[in-house]
Amino acid sequence: MTTDIVDVDDLTAPEVADVLDLAADLKSAQQAGNGRRPLADQTLAMIFEKPSTRTRVSFETGMTQLGGHAIFLGPDDIHLGHGEPIKDTARAVARYADFIMARVFDHSDVVELAEYATVPVINGLTDDAHPCQTLADLLTIRERFDGFDVDVAWVGDGNNVCQSFVVGSAMTDIDLTVATPDGYGIDDHVHERAADLGNAPAETTDPDAAIAEADIVYTDVWVSMGQEDKREQKLADFEGFQLTADRVGDRPVMHCLPAHRGEEITDEVLESDNAVVWDQAENRLHAQKGLLAWLAE
Ligand code: CP
Ligand code: NVA
Protein backbone atom coordinates (compact mmCIF):
# COMPACT_ATOMS: atom_id res chain seq x y z
CA MET A 1 0.00 0.00 0.00
CA THR A 2 1.52 3.34 -1.06
CA THR A 3 0.92 6.77 0.44
CA ASP A 4 -0.63 9.20 -2.02
CA ILE A 5 -0.61 12.93 -1.38
CA VAL A 6 -3.89 14.03 -2.91
CA ASP A 7 -4.19 16.68 -0.21
CA VAL A 8 -2.24 17.65 2.91
CA ASP A 9 -4.41 15.55 5.22
CA ASP A 10 -3.27 12.37 3.51
CA LEU A 11 -0.44 12.93 6.00
CA THR A 12 -1.05 12.98 9.74
CA ALA A 13 0.02 16.07 11.70
CA PRO A 14 3.17 14.28 12.99
CA GLU A 15 3.96 13.20 9.41
CA VAL A 16 3.65 16.82 8.21
CA ALA A 17 6.16 17.75 10.93
CA ASP A 18 8.47 14.91 9.79
CA VAL A 19 8.29 16.04 6.15
CA LEU A 20 9.06 19.64 7.14
CA ASP A 21 11.97 18.51 9.36
CA LEU A 22 13.38 16.44 6.52
CA ALA A 23 12.88 19.37 4.13
CA ALA A 24 14.76 21.69 6.49
CA ASP A 25 17.62 19.15 6.86
CA LEU A 26 17.90 18.67 3.10
CA LYS A 27 17.79 22.45 2.60
CA SER A 28 20.68 23.10 5.00
CA ALA A 29 22.69 20.17 3.64
CA GLN A 30 22.24 21.41 0.06
CA GLN A 31 23.13 24.97 1.02
CA ALA A 32 26.25 23.74 2.86
CA GLY A 33 27.36 21.88 -0.26
CA ASN A 34 26.58 18.47 1.27
CA GLY A 35 23.54 17.56 -0.82
CA ARG A 36 22.24 14.02 -0.23
CA ARG A 37 21.15 11.59 -2.93
CA PRO A 38 18.62 9.18 -1.35
CA LEU A 39 16.68 8.84 -4.62
CA ALA A 40 19.57 7.55 -6.77
CA ASP A 41 18.20 5.69 -9.80
CA GLN A 42 14.61 6.68 -8.99
CA THR A 43 12.28 8.41 -11.44
CA LEU A 44 9.42 10.87 -11.01
CA ALA A 45 6.88 11.02 -13.86
CA MET A 46 5.33 14.50 -13.98
CA ILE A 47 1.96 14.79 -15.75
CA PHE A 48 0.88 18.35 -16.58
CA GLU A 49 -2.54 19.25 -18.01
CA LYS A 50 -2.00 22.92 -17.05
CA PRO A 51 1.02 25.27 -17.33
CA SER A 52 3.54 25.57 -14.50
CA THR A 53 6.78 27.35 -13.69
CA ARG A 54 7.46 26.63 -10.00
CA THR A 55 5.98 23.14 -9.71
CA ARG A 56 7.68 21.84 -12.83
CA VAL A 57 11.10 23.37 -12.17
CA SER A 58 11.17 22.64 -8.43
CA PHE A 59 10.16 18.98 -8.81
CA GLU A 60 12.59 18.41 -11.67
CA THR A 61 15.44 20.16 -9.87
CA GLY A 62 14.56 18.39 -6.63
CA MET A 63 14.81 14.98 -8.27
CA THR A 64 18.19 15.90 -9.76
CA GLN A 65 19.49 17.09 -6.39
CA LEU A 66 18.26 13.89 -4.69
CA GLY A 67 20.13 11.78 -7.25
CA GLY A 68 17.09 10.77 -9.30
CA HIS A 69 15.46 11.81 -12.54
CA ALA A 70 12.19 13.48 -13.56
CA ILE A 71 10.25 13.11 -16.82
CA PHE A 72 8.07 16.01 -17.98
CA LEU A 73 4.84 14.79 -19.61
CA GLY A 74 2.90 17.74 -21.03
CA PRO A 75 -0.64 17.68 -22.43
CA ASP A 76 0.49 16.55 -25.90
CA ASP A 77 3.28 14.21 -24.83
CA ILE A 78 1.24 11.20 -23.69
CA HIS A 79 -2.03 9.51 -24.63
CA LEU A 80 -3.83 10.84 -21.53
CA GLY A 81 -6.28 13.44 -22.82
CA HIS A 82 -6.09 11.89 -26.29
CA GLY A 83 -8.09 8.73 -25.70
CA GLU A 84 -6.23 6.64 -23.10
CA PRO A 85 -8.10 6.49 -19.78
CA ILE A 86 -6.53 7.63 -16.52
CA LYS A 87 -6.60 4.14 -15.03
CA ASP A 88 -4.56 2.72 -17.92
CA THR A 89 -2.08 5.61 -17.78
CA ALA A 90 -1.72 5.11 -14.02
CA ARG A 91 -0.99 1.39 -14.23
CA ALA A 92 1.45 1.67 -17.13
CA VAL A 93 3.44 4.65 -15.81
CA ALA A 94 3.68 3.01 -12.37
CA ARG A 95 5.49 0.05 -13.97
CA TYR A 96 8.35 2.44 -14.89
CA ALA A 97 8.40 5.34 -12.47
CA ASP A 98 8.86 5.33 -8.68
CA PHE A 99 6.58 8.35 -8.14
CA ILE A 100 3.92 10.15 -10.20
CA MET A 101 3.19 13.85 -9.80
CA ALA A 102 0.12 15.20 -11.61
CA ARG A 103 -1.29 18.67 -12.25
CA VAL A 104 -4.80 18.27 -13.62
CA PHE A 105 -8.06 20.20 -13.82
CA ASP A 106 -10.54 17.78 -12.30
CA HIS A 107 -9.68 16.75 -8.74
CA SER A 108 -11.32 13.35 -9.28
CA ASP A 109 -8.70 12.62 -11.96
CA VAL A 110 -5.84 12.72 -9.45
CA VAL A 111 -7.93 10.60 -7.08
CA GLU A 112 -8.38 8.01 -9.85
CA LEU A 113 -4.68 8.16 -10.73
CA ALA A 114 -3.86 7.45 -7.09
CA GLU A 115 -6.39 4.61 -6.97
CA TYR A 116 -4.82 2.76 -9.91
CA ALA A 117 -1.11 3.65 -9.63
CA THR A 118 0.95 1.26 -7.53
CA VAL A 119 3.49 4.00 -6.70
CA PRO A 120 2.92 7.21 -4.68
CA VAL A 121 0.89 9.84 -6.53
CA ILE A 122 1.47 13.49 -5.57
CA ASN A 123 -1.09 16.17 -6.41
CA GLY A 124 0.74 19.02 -8.18
CA LEU A 125 -2.48 21.13 -8.21
CA THR A 126 -6.07 20.44 -9.15
CA ASP A 127 -9.04 22.79 -9.34
CA ASP A 128 -9.67 21.94 -5.67
CA ALA A 129 -6.32 21.54 -3.93
CA HIS A 130 -2.58 22.35 -4.00
CA PRO A 131 -0.95 20.41 -1.14
CA CYS A 132 2.66 20.90 -2.32
CA GLN A 133 2.15 24.66 -2.13
CA THR A 134 0.86 24.29 1.42
CA LEU A 135 3.89 22.25 2.53
CA ALA A 136 6.17 25.02 1.17
CA ASP A 137 4.01 27.66 2.85
CA LEU A 138 4.20 25.86 6.19
CA LEU A 139 7.99 25.60 5.86
CA THR A 140 8.15 29.34 5.08
CA ILE A 141 5.98 30.29 8.07
CA ARG A 142 7.88 27.95 10.41
CA GLU A 143 11.23 29.46 9.33
CA ARG A 144 10.00 33.01 9.73
CA PHE A 145 8.06 32.67 12.98
CA ASP A 146 9.93 29.76 14.54
CA GLY A 147 6.71 27.77 14.67
CA PHE A 148 3.03 28.10 13.87
CA ASP A 149 1.81 30.39 16.63
CA VAL A 150 0.61 32.95 14.08
CA ASP A 151 -2.58 34.55 12.80
CA VAL A 152 -2.92 34.41 9.02
CA ALA A 153 -5.48 36.31 6.93
CA TRP A 154 -6.30 34.76 3.56
CA VAL A 155 -7.76 37.53 1.39
CA GLY A 156 -9.23 36.66 -2.01
CA ASP A 157 -10.69 33.57 -3.61
CA GLY A 158 -11.45 30.45 -1.58
CA ASN A 159 -9.65 28.48 -4.28
CA ASN A 160 -7.39 25.41 -4.55
CA VAL A 161 -4.42 27.09 -2.83
CA CYS A 162 -6.68 28.45 -0.08
CA GLN A 163 -8.38 25.11 0.52
CA SER A 164 -5.16 23.16 1.01
CA PHE A 165 -3.84 25.98 3.20
CA VAL A 166 -7.00 25.73 5.33
CA VAL A 167 -6.31 22.03 5.87
CA GLY A 168 -2.59 22.58 6.51
CA SER A 169 -3.38 25.38 8.97
CA ALA A 170 -5.83 23.15 10.81
CA MET A 171 -3.10 20.50 11.14
CA THR A 172 -0.51 22.94 12.50
CA ASP A 173 -2.85 25.05 14.69
CA ILE A 174 -2.34 28.20 12.66
CA ASP A 175 -5.10 30.71 13.45
CA LEU A 176 -6.58 31.39 10.01
CA THR A 177 -9.26 33.81 8.85
CA VAL A 178 -10.49 33.46 5.27
CA ALA A 179 -11.91 36.66 3.75
CA THR A 180 -13.66 36.18 0.40
CA PRO A 181 -16.51 37.90 -1.42
CA ASP A 182 -19.89 36.33 -0.80
CA GLY A 183 -20.18 33.10 -2.78
CA TYR A 184 -16.41 32.54 -3.13
CA GLY A 185 -15.71 30.84 0.19
CA ILE A 186 -14.11 27.44 0.68
CA ASP A 187 -16.13 24.28 0.02
CA ASP A 188 -18.21 22.99 2.94
CA HIS A 189 -16.32 19.69 2.97
CA VAL A 190 -13.01 21.54 3.40
CA HIS A 191 -14.43 23.50 6.35
CA GLU A 192 -15.67 20.22 7.83
CA ARG A 193 -12.28 18.52 7.38
CA ALA A 194 -10.59 21.44 9.13
CA ALA A 195 -13.19 21.27 11.92
CA ASP A 196 -12.59 17.52 12.27
CA LEU A 197 -8.89 18.33 12.62
CA GLY A 198 -9.88 20.64 15.49
CA ASN A 199 -9.23 24.03 13.87
CA ALA A 200 -11.74 25.34 11.31
CA PRO A 201 -10.94 28.80 9.92
CA ALA A 202 -13.00 31.89 10.68
CA GLU A 203 -14.77 33.07 7.53
CA THR A 204 -15.75 36.62 6.65
CA THR A 205 -16.50 38.88 3.69
CA ASP A 206 -14.56 41.78 5.27
CA PRO A 207 -10.89 41.79 4.20
CA ASP A 208 -9.89 44.60 6.56
CA ALA A 209 -11.38 42.85 9.58
CA ALA A 210 -9.35 39.74 8.71
CA ILE A 211 -6.13 41.71 8.14
CA ALA A 212 -6.50 43.72 11.37
CA GLU A 213 -5.88 40.59 13.49
CA ALA A 214 -3.23 39.07 11.21
CA ASP A 215 0.53 38.54 11.50
CA ILE A 216 0.67 37.53 7.82
CA VAL A 217 -1.56 38.20 4.82
CA TYR A 218 -1.88 35.63 2.02
CA THR A 219 -3.53 36.02 -1.38
CA ASP A 220 -3.71 34.31 -4.77
CA VAL A 221 -5.13 35.15 -8.18
CA TRP A 222 -8.83 35.81 -8.54
CA VAL A 223 -8.96 34.04 -11.91
CA SER A 224 -7.37 30.62 -11.66
CA MET A 225 -6.24 28.46 -14.58
CA GLY A 226 -9.33 27.17 -16.38
CA GLN A 227 -11.58 30.04 -15.16
CA GLU A 228 -10.74 32.45 -17.98
CA ASP A 229 -14.38 32.49 -19.15
CA LYS A 230 -15.43 33.82 -15.70
CA ARG A 231 -12.81 36.59 -15.73
CA GLU A 232 -15.06 39.65 -16.14
CA GLN A 233 -17.55 38.45 -13.53
CA LYS A 234 -14.82 37.60 -11.02
CA LEU A 235 -12.97 40.92 -11.46
CA ALA A 236 -16.24 42.68 -10.66
CA ASP A 237 -17.06 40.42 -7.71
CA PHE A 238 -13.59 40.80 -6.14
CA GLU A 239 -13.53 44.59 -6.28
CA GLY A 240 -12.35 45.86 -2.88
CA PHE A 241 -10.23 42.76 -2.13
CA GLN A 242 -6.91 43.94 -3.61
CA LEU A 243 -3.86 43.88 -1.32
CA THR A 244 -2.52 47.44 -1.31
CA ALA A 245 0.38 48.89 0.68
CA ASP A 246 -2.03 50.86 2.89
CA ARG A 247 -4.10 47.80 3.62
CA VAL A 248 -1.29 45.39 4.55
CA GLY A 249 0.87 47.88 6.48
CA ASP A 250 4.08 46.23 7.67
CA ARG A 251 2.72 42.66 7.62
CA PRO A 252 4.53 39.98 5.63
CA VAL A 253 2.60 39.13 2.46
CA MET A 254 2.42 35.68 0.93
CA HIS A 255 1.42 34.74 -2.62
CA CYS A 256 1.88 31.33 -4.23
CA LEU A 257 2.58 32.97 -7.61
CA PRO A 258 2.07 33.55 -10.46
CA ALA A 259 0.56 36.93 -9.48
CA HIS A 260 -1.74 39.11 -11.53
CA ARG A 261 -0.35 42.51 -10.56
CA GLY A 262 -3.06 45.16 -10.45
CA GLU A 263 -5.75 42.56 -9.66
CA GLU A 264 -5.37 40.73 -6.32
CA ILE A 265 -2.14 42.57 -5.38
CA THR A 266 -0.41 45.78 -6.37
CA ASP A 267 3.02 45.85 -7.95
CA GLU A 268 4.13 47.99 -4.99
CA VAL A 269 3.26 45.29 -2.44
CA LEU A 270 4.76 42.49 -4.48
CA GLU A 271 8.02 44.42 -4.97
CA SER A 272 8.18 45.55 -1.33
CA ASP A 273 10.27 44.02 1.47
CA ASN A 274 7.00 42.73 2.95
CA ALA A 275 6.67 40.16 0.19
CA VAL A 276 7.92 36.73 1.25
CA VAL A 277 6.92 35.24 -2.09
CA TRP A 278 10.44 34.35 -3.23
CA ASP A 279 11.07 32.40 -0.02
CA GLN A 280 7.79 30.60 -0.63
CA ALA A 281 8.81 29.84 -4.21
CA GLU A 282 12.24 28.56 -3.12
CA ASN A 283 10.68 26.43 -0.41
CA ARG A 284 8.64 24.56 -3.05
CA LEU A 285 11.97 22.88 -3.90
CA HIS A 286 12.92 22.05 -0.32
CA ALA A 287 9.45 20.97 0.83
CA GLN A 288 9.01 18.66 -2.16
CA LYS A 289 12.47 17.18 -1.66
CA GLY A 290 11.42 16.48 1.93
CA LEU A 291 8.19 14.90 0.74
CA LEU A 292 9.86 12.72 -1.92
CA ALA A 293 12.59 11.56 0.47
CA TRP A 294 9.97 10.85 3.16
CA LEU A 295 7.84 8.84 0.71
CA ALA A 296 10.92 6.82 -0.26
CA GLU A 297 11.88 5.96 3.33
N1 CP B 1 2.60 28.19 -7.22
C2 CP B 1 2.66 27.35 -8.26
O3 CP B 1 2.22 26.19 -8.21
O4 CP B 1 3.25 27.88 -9.38
P5 CP B 1 3.29 27.23 -10.83
O6 CP B 1 1.90 27.30 -11.40
O7 CP B 1 4.27 28.09 -11.57
O8 CP B 1 3.75 25.81 -10.72
N1 NVA C 1 -5.14 29.33 -7.99
C2 NVA C 1 -4.12 29.32 -9.02
C3 NVA C 1 -2.85 28.78 -8.45
C4 NVA C 1 -1.71 28.69 -9.41
C5 NVA C 1 -0.48 28.11 -8.79
C6 NVA C 1 -4.59 28.51 -10.20
O7 NVA C 1 -5.14 27.43 -9.98
O8 NVA C 1 -4.40 28.95 -11.34
Q: 100: domain CATH number?
A: 3.40.50.1370
Mutate to test the pocket of ligand 1, among 50, 55, 223 (most ligand atoms within 8 A of CB): 55
Do residues 125 and 144 share a domain?
no
What single-letter amino acid sits at 290?
G
Q: Which residue of 46, 134, 221, 256 sits with most ligand 1 atoms within 8 Å of its CB, as the best mutation to test the pocket? A: 256
Indicate the pTM of the whole model: 0.98
Do residue 41 and residue 112 come from a single domain? yes
The verdict on the CB of residue 160 being under 6 Å from ligand 2 is yes
My answer on whether 288 and 275 are in the same domain is no
Query: Ligand 1 within 6 A of 257 CB?
Result: yes
> What is the number of residues in the chain?
297
74-105 residue pLDDT tens? 999 999 999 999 999 999 999 999 999 999 99
Residues 247 and 149 in one domain: yes
117 CA distance to ligand 2 middle (Å): 25
Contact of 238 with 222, CB cutoff 8 Å: yes
Q: Is 160 in the pocket of ligand 1 (CB under 6 A)?
A: no
CA of 54 from ligand 2 middle (Å) equals 11
Taking CA atoms, 282 is separated from 33, 62, 120, 262, in Å, by 17, 11, 23, 24
Q: Is 252 exposed, middle or buried (0-12, 13-18, 19+ CB in 10 A)?
A: buried
* Atom from ligand 2 closest to the CA of residue 223: 8
List the catalytic residues: 103, 130, 133, 220, 256, 284
pLDDT of residue 2: 85
32 and 19 within one domain: yes
In a domain, 138, yes or no: yes
Same domain, 276 and 149: yes
Looking at the structure, tell me whether residues 261 and 161 fall in a common domain. yes
Range of the domain at 19: 8-130+284-296
Question: Looking at the predicted structure, is the pLDDT value of residue 1 above 80?
Answer: no
Total domains in the chain come to 2
Q: Which of 102, 58, 103, 57 is CA-nearest to residue 224?
A: 103
Mean pLDDT (whole number) for 101-130: 98
Same structural domain for residues 162 and 235?
yes
Q: Domain check: are 113 and 188 in the same one?
A: no
In a domain, residue 2? The reply is: no
Q: Does residue 124 share a domain with residue 187?
A: no
In one-letter notation, the amino acid at residue 253 is V
Tens of pLDDT, residue by residue over 159-197, are 999 999 999 999 999 999 999 999 999 999 999 999 999
35-75 tens-digit pLDDT: 999 999 999 999 999 999 999 999 999 999 999 999 999 99
